[in-house]
């Protein structure tokens, strides 16, 4: 059993960005509004430093608890905390120039820009809460908090399409998450007789012990409801209707945040709850394998027919998050490890690709249809390089990071003898590679289309502040592909944390 120590760090991770959000919102009305970007970045940099400190503590074999046992950080939480806080910093760096340009184009007002940074900080706080809460019902509350914090970011441009996307996003995700709450309540109620006297909450860390004690019919009903809810948040088919709209209509850095982080919440919640039941009920493994297989195939077919780059990437996310679900749903060491590995890789790659599209839109004055683009590689070599790295990585081509995680998942599926699911995963991987590389070719190397040819003088590589984040992400994709062992300690710790809960050790 690992040593648990009381710590204030999880509380800081949650409250500091929320306080920052309030401060920025208030400062927006004063002279301080010109410093909002800097303020946001400072808060997020402190958050990242805290996240690194948490990561180091967890890797030394300890777990953190705070507010009694209401907050809990183990290997899985630490992995998510590091990922979330690092990504938010990179996304905010790109936002500074990108959103300034949107303001110059008259798409965003001064006041809304303040709201933008306040909401990013609010999201960071709720996201950190989601991945550190130990209360099962609070997991729902925090998850819904992330949806609410990002809803206005999705509808940010207040155009017909973005308002529609925001409406669909809130409605569908909330309906899905309500199903998850229903499932959580059923499990909680069934578990209650087995909890300590006077318990007011079902702790996620107790779920492993409880999973074997509650009636099968209630457990399966609860799992089905939770899976529907978490799959909606993650955007799996057939619960994905919100995802392509929200991803494509939000500002590009927010698309990176949605695809990189928001949909991962569904996967995290799955790992925390449903995965714990998988070893007890084999039907759960089969159910999730079928759901994931259908989702990954339909997702990539839909991606192949898109002309809008952001919608194409969004449908690709529907497909890729299914790999994560498939791995986590297996409930084995290799499956969970592969699922979490792909969760990390997909976050890096998809944020890279969405922010690259952001760079393209920045340079071309908002063009994002493949049919309108072409020949950008000569003018934008850095963006072109980063995009092709992302395309090859998400396609699962060695030696990029996507190959490593997908291959781990293939092995895990094979280990469970789910050969049908394995075949679908491999075919989807090939289609993904074709889809993304074909898109990259048309955007960067094909003869420039009329829209791009129209302004050759203006077209140039984006400023360093816009490409800095994507270069870092591209380098990370290559580095993790070449040296996958560098992530092993944290992935191993996260996987063992899930298995420890399953074994009842918490």
292 lines the binding site for other proteins (CB under 8 A): no
CB atoms within 10 A of CB 53: 13
Instruction: Name the residue nearer to other proteins (CB basis): 225 or 354.
Output: 225
Instruction: Name the residue nearer to other proteins (CB basis): 203 or 480.
Output: 203
With a CB cutoff of 8 Å and minimum separation 6, the contacts of 123 are 88, 146, 149, 150, 153, 257
Q: What residues numbered 216-255 form the site for other proteins, per CB under 8 A?
A: 217-218, 221, 244-245, 248-249
User: Minimal distance in Å, beta carbon 177 to other proteins?
Assistant: 9
User: Which of 62, 100, 164, 369 is close enough to bind other proteins by CB under 8 A?
Assistant: 164
171 lines the binding site for other proteins (CB under 8 A): yes
Matching residue, tokens 């960071």: 124
Distance (Å, rounded) from C-alpha 17 to C-alpha 191? Answer: 34
User: Which of 11, 19, 167, 468 is close enough to bind other proteins by CB under 8 A?
Assistant: 167
Count of CA atoms in the C-beta half-sphere (13 A) of 107 = 18
Distance (Å, rounded) from C-alpha 16 to C-alpha 9? Answer: 10
User: Which of 168, 346, 350, 379 is close enough to bind other proteins by CB under 8 A?
Assistant: 168
Concatenate the DSSP letters of all residues of 23-68 into one string: HHHHHTTSGGGGGHHHHHHHHHHHHHHHHHHHHHHHHTTEEEEETT
Q: What is the dihedral of CA 41, 43, 45, 50, to 10 degrees?
A: -170
Task: Tell me the window of 172-180, 292-300, 377-385, 449-457 that interacts with other proteins (CB under 8 A).
Answer: 172-180
Task: Tell me the window of 44-52, 151-159, 404-412, 429-437 that interacts with other proteins (CB under 8 A).
Answer: 151-159
Concatenate the DSSP letters of all residues of 424-478 into one string: HHHHHHHHHHHHHHHHHHHHHTSPPPHHHHT-TTT--PPPHHHHHHHHHHHHHHH
Residue 196: both structure tokens together: 């300590």
Q: What residues numbered 82-141 form the site for other proteins, per CB under 8 A?
A: 135, 137-138, 140-141
User: Minimal distance in Å, beta carbon 277 to other proteins?
Assistant: 15
User: Minimal distance in Å, beta carbon 155 to other proteins?
Assistant: 6
User: Minimal distance in Å, beta carbon 94 to other proteins?
Assistant: 24
Instruction: Name the residue nearer to other proteins (CB basis): 56 or 171.
Output: 171
Distance (Å, rounded) from C-alpha 314 to C-alpha 226? Answer: 23
Q: Give the three-state DSSP class for 400.
A: coil
Distance (Å, rounded) from C-alpha 183 to C-alpha 177? Answer: 10
CA angle 185, 190, 195 (to 5 degrees): 100
145 lines the binding site for other proteins (CB under 8 A): yes
User: Minimal distance in Å, beta carbon 92 to other proteins?
Assistant: 23
Distance (Å, rounded) from C-alpha 388 to C-alpha 478? Answer: 12
Distance (Å, rounded) from C-alpha 20 to C-alpha 38? Answer: 11
317 lines the binding site for other proteins (CB under 8 A): no
Instruction: Name the residue nearer to other proteins (CB basis): 25 or 163.
Output: 163
With a CB cutoff of 8 Å and minimum separation 6, the contacts of 406 are 323, 338, 342, 396, 425, 429
457 lines the binding site for other proteins (CB under 8 A): no
User: Minimal distance in Å, beta carbon 185 to other proteins?
Assistant: 5
User: Which of 101, 209, 272, 311 is close enough to bind other proteins by CB under 8 A?
Assistant: 311
User: Which of 76, 170, 303, 318 is close enough to bind other proteins by CB under 8 A?
Assistant: 170
Task: Tell me the window of 84-92, 149-157, 252-260, 292-300 that interacts with other proteins (CB under 8 A).
Answer: 149-157
Instruction: Name the residue nearer to other proteins (CB basis): 137 or 427.
Output: 137
Q: How many residues of this chain bind other proteins (CB under 8 A)?
A: 48
User: Minimal distance in Å, beta carbon 28 to other proteins?
Assistant: 19
Task: Tell me the window of 155-163, 406-414, 447-455, 459-467 that interacts with other proteins (CB under 8 A).
Answer: 155-163
Q: What residues numbered 175-214 form the site for other proteins, per CB under 8 A?
A: 175, 178, 181-182, 185-186, 188-190, 192-193, 199-201, 214
CB atoms within 10 A of CB 220: 15
Residue 458: both structure tokens together: 């203006």
Matching residue, tokens 């309108």: 372
User: Minimal distance in Å, beta carbon 247 to other proteins?
Assistant: 11
Closest to 262 measured CA to CA, from 80, 416, 6: 80
Residues that bind other proteins in the complex, under the rule CB under 8 A: 135, 137-138, 140-141, 144-145, 148, 151-152, 155, 158, 160-161, 163-168, 170-171, 174-175, 178, 181-182, 185-186, 188-190, 192-193, 199-201, 214-215, 217-218, 221, 244-245, 248-249, 306, 311
């Amino acid at each position: 059993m690992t040593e648990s120590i009381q710590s204030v760090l999880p509380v800081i991770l949650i409250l500091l960005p929320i306080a920052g959000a309030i401060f920025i919102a208030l400062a927006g009305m004063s002279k301080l509004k010109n410093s909002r970007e800097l303020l946001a970045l400072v808060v997020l940099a402190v958050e990242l430093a805290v996240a690194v400190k948490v990561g180091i503590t967890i890797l030394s074999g300890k777990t953190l608890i705070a507010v009694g046992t209401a907050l809990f950080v183990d290997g899985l939480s630490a992995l998510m905390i590091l990922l979330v806080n690092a990504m938010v910093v990179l996304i905010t760096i790109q936002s500074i120039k990108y959103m300034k340009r949107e303001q110059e184009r008259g798409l965003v007002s001064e006041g809304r820009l303040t709201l933008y940074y306040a909401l990013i900080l609010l999201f960071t706080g709720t996201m950190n809460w989601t991945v550190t809460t130990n209360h099962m019902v609070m997991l729902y509350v925090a998850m819904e908090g992330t949806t609410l914090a990002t809803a206005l970011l999705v509808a940010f441009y207040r155009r017909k399409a973005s308002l529609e996307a925001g409406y669909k996003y809130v409605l569908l995700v909330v309906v899905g998450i309500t199903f998850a709450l229903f499932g959580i309540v059923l499990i909680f109620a069934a578990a209650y007789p087995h909890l300590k006297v006077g318990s007011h909450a079902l702790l996620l860390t107790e779920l492993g012990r409880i999973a074997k004690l509650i009636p099968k019919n209630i457990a399966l009903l609860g799992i089905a409801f939770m899976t529907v809810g978490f799959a909606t948040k993650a955007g799996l088919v057939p619960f994905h209707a919100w995802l392509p709209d929200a991803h494509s209509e939000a500002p590009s850095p927010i698309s990176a945040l949605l695809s990189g982080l928001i949909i991962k919440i569904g996967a995290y919640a799955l790992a925390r709850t449903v995965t714990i039941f998988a070893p007890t009920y084999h039907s759960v493994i089969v159910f999730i394998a079928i759901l994931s297989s259908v989702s990954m195939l339909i997702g990539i077919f839909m991606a192949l027919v898109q002309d809008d780059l952001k919608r194409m990437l969004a449908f690709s996310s529907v497909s890729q998050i299914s790999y994560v679900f498939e791995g986590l749903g297996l409930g084995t060491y290799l499956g969970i490890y592969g699922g979490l590995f792909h969760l990390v890789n997909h976050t890096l790659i998809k944020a890279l690709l969405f922010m690259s599209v952001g760079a393209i839109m920045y340079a071309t004055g908002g063009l994002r249809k493949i049919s309108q683009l072409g020949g950008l590689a000569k003018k934008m070599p850095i963006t072109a390089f980063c995009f092709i790295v992302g395309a090859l990585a998400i396609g699962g081509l060695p030696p990029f990071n996507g190959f490593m995680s997908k291959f781990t998942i293939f092995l895990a599926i094979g280990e469970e003898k789910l050969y049908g699911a394995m075949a679908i995963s491999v075919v989807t991987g090939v289609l993904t590679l074709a889809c993304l590389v074909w898109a990259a070719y048309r955007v960067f190397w094909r003869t420039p289309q009329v829209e791009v040819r129209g302004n050759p003088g203006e077209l140039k590589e984006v400023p360093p502040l816009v490409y800095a984040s994507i270069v870092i992400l591209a380098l990370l994709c290559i580095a993790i592909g070449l040296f996958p062992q560098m992530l092993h300690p944290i992935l191993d710790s996260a996987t063992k944390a899930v298995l420890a809960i399953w074994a009842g050790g918490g």
